[in-house]
Amino acid sequence: MSKQIFKVDESESEIRIDTYLSSMFSDISRTKIQELIKQKQVLVNDKTCKPSYIIHTDDDIVCDFSSAEISIEPENIPIEIVYEDDYFAVVNKPSGMLTHPTSKEKSGTLVNALLYKFGEDLSSINGIYRRGIVHRLDRNTSGLLIVAKTNDAHEKFAKMIKDRNVEKHYRAIVKGRMDQNIVINEPIARSKTNPNKMCVSPDGKQSVTEISIIEQFDEATYLDINLKTGRTHQIRVHLSHIGHPVFNDTLYGFGKMKIKTEEQVLQSYKLKFIHPFFNKICEFEIPADEKIDKVLLYLKERRI
């Protein structure tokens, strides 16, 4: 395997480099990755490091794991292409699909589908496990994602997202009645008690979420959410923090649902930005998905 190059984005910073690389190379054990780091097979900003090094946004990481055989197989999985040109595509990721492979799941992900659809016409900046992936959605969050076809496009989009020049809107249905539009500006960090969770913490990174009410119900609220920053689980964490967890988000406190749907009711439905190579506005929007329609129908029927 040739050298792999990664640039750390803001949602992945402030964790140990061995932890970060374990997520990138899910076929290699963390112990083996620690050995490779100690053997100077990993450089951060052209310097060697220790396995305990804490990575930062925009760190350049170069790995030479030539002794490890890693491959991701293309799979003929239908995916909706909302837009495509020579530089990027916008796809509609369904609920239940991982954005990229993990140590437990190496097939059925968006990356497997992208490799079948686009072949080698995908950026490689984030390594073989994340070909084309500029930003991600949680497994059970559906909706729009930007996929970079070239490394140049990937770098431009990564900078646009970092500079907050990509407008990202989500639909969500949350527990409880909200009575006013709000902006949540609370720092988010990884939980010290559960590594799979994030939390509001004074030690975290600035995180800003703009929330607008679409429709109110006695026991729930339908929201439009403008994501100003891109922290891991940001929307889910912020909404849970103010006492309005996303419907069916069991990780952040919603609990069991009366409605049969296995995914949190959250959808990335709108993207807007200036094309990175041409001076034109790109705006993409998709209708509400099945899980949102199902919960809205349930809430409206209870109101009658």
Q: What does the angle CA 118 – CA 119 – CA 125 come to, to the nearest 5 degrees?
A: 90
Helix (H) or strand (E) holding 37: helix 30-38
Helix/strand/coil for 128: helix
- Of 232, 223, 216, 211, give the one whose Cα is nearest residue 177: 216
Tokens of 175: 């527990």
Rounded CA gap, 280 and 290, in Å? 32
Residues 103, 26 contacting (CB under 8 angstroms): yes
CA dihedral over 137, 27, 40, 124, signed as positive or negative: negative
The string of DSSP letters for 66-121 reads TTS-----------EEEEE-SSEEEEEEPTT--SS--SS--SSSHHHHHHHHHTT-
- Which one of the listed residues 138, 179, 224, 289 is annotated catalytic? 138
Rounded CA gap, 58 and 64, in Å? 19
The three state secondary structure string of 223-286 is EEEEECCCCCCHHHHHHHHCCCCECCCHHHCCCCCCCCCCCCCEEEEEEEEECCCCCCEEEEEC
Q: What is the Rg, in whole angstroms, of the alpha carbon atoms belonging to the chain?
A: 20
- Of 270, 272, 267, 268, give the one whose Cα is nearest residue 283: 272
**Active-site residue flag, 138:** yes
Active site residues per annotation: 138
